[in-house]
Structure 1
Amino acid sequence: MSTWLFAALVLATGFERIAELVVSTRHARWSFARGGVESGRGHFPPMVVLHTGLLLACLVEVLAADRPFVPALGWPMLVLVLAAQGLRWWCITALGPQWNTRVIVVPGLTLVARGPYRWLRHPNYVVVVLEGFALPLVHTAWVTALAFTVLNAVLLLGFRLPAENRALAALSRPSTLPQRSGTAPR
């Protein structure tokens, strides 16, 4: 894969993020119109910076450090990136209007227990973790992969998950299905 194709992949990922933000904004309006309450506002700006920084750092590292494309690493990582995108949109579809990039919970709703939420409490975070190391490693940007993974773990484990879990505790659980998450990151 040439550097230009990698840049196109990163750019396409950026456009996908814009599509997510459009959906998220629409869903946030839906939630607020139904009495939704936002939690964890303080960690959201650093999260945006981190995720934007991932895309920029991928390009900067590959160009500045002249990182090569190593097929034995790059192709499997590309498969993971594409699989992560599929899982991300499955999460968005499963949560419907309850999905957004912020932690907004509508009182009176139940936790979602369909799609990937049947098996995982926070499947969209699996997407973020996968993408955070796989996208840079498509073109051996290992410093970016390592830095994002560490910083994302701090943000996710120290701030995002605790805020989300506290907010979701207010939702009632489906009577016949296991407990699952009702919001997703990014």
Structure 2
Amino acid sequence: MMWPSIVLLTFVTLQRLGELVLARRNTAALRTRGAREVAPEHYPLMVALHAVWIIGLWLLAPGRPIEPFWLAIFMGLQALRFWVLATLKDRWTTRIIILPGAPLIRSGPYRFLRHPNYAIVAGEIATLPLAFGLPVFAVVFSLFNAAILHVRIKAENAALESAMILK
């Protein structure tokens, strides 16, 4: 049966495309309010990683059985993703955007983790391939994602500290 994997991949693809539209809108609005982007050098690599991850899943996953355990974890991560989006509202973006004078968000999942969105994405990058029975794919992309997140989190923390937002 191919349709369950196609439905799941379509959901993830449309979700990511919708988030890119939302991120562009939010980024533009933040820039009109005086926000600036920090450390944009790694952004194309991050976009490429996510694009290749989705394309790879489209090539390898259709027709594969879906593991209910990993699917349940992935769907739980989707709920957490929506919690992050609802918490950040118009400040959510896929870039590192610093809005001078804006307080650091400390509500929602940010009460528990400094970077919950990155933890969620790391979980998604691992669990969706595992849901399709692709453990090597999950490990390879998790390692690449960890390398990019290392650079990104370091740059974001430095930017927040220099903006005197993080204490």
Aligned residue runs from structure 1 range 152-163, under 5 A: 152-157=145-150, 159-163=151-155
SS in 1 for 2:61: helix
Identity, in percent, stands at: 34
Tell me, yes or no, if the aligned pair for 1:110 and 1:171 is still in contact at 8 Å: no
Other-structure match for 1:182: none
* Aligned partner letter, 1:19: G
* Aligned partner letter, 2:156: E
* Aligned partner letter, 1:96: K
Give distance in 2, aligned partners of 1:154 and 1:28: 24
Give distance in 1, aligned partners of 2:46 and 2:154: 14
1:3 Cα deviation (Å)? 3.3
Give distance in 2, aligned partners of 1:79 and 1:108: 40
The aligned length equals 166
Alignment of 1:167 with 2:163, yes or no, is no
Give distance in 2, aligned partners of 1:21 and 1:139: 25
Tell me, yes or no, if the aligned pair for 1:107 and 1:171 is still in contact at 8 Å: no
SS in 1 for 2:152: helix
Other-structure match for 1:20: 19
With normalisation by structure 2, the TM-score equals: 0.92
Other-structure match for 1:55: 54
Tell me, yes or no, if the aligned pair for 2:5 and 2:65 is still in contact at 8 Å: no
1:62 Cα deviation (Å)? 3.2
Tell me, yes or no, if the aligned pair for 1:3 and 1:62 is still in contact at 8 Å: no
Runs of 5+ consecutive residues of structure 1 not aligned to the other structure: 174-178, 180-186
Moved over 3 A (4+): none
Tell me, yes or no, if the aligned pair for 2:38 and 2:159 is still in contact at 8 Å: yes
Other-structure match for 1:184: none
1:171 Cα deviation (Å)? 4.1
Task: Select 2:65's aligned residue among 56, 66, 69.
Answer: 69
SS in 2 for 1:69: coil
Greater Cα offset, 49-58 or 99-108: 49-58
Tell me, yes or no, if the aligned pair for 2:74 and 2:127 is still in contact at 8 Å: yes
Tell me, yes or no, if the aligned pair for 1:27 and 1:97 is still in contact at 8 Å: yes
* Aligned partner letter, 2:26: H
1:84 Cα deviation (Å)? 1.1
Other-structure match for 1:91: 84
* Aligned partner letter, 1:103: I
Give distance in 2, aligned partners of 1:62 and 1:12: 14
With normalisation by structure 1, the TM-score equals: 0.83
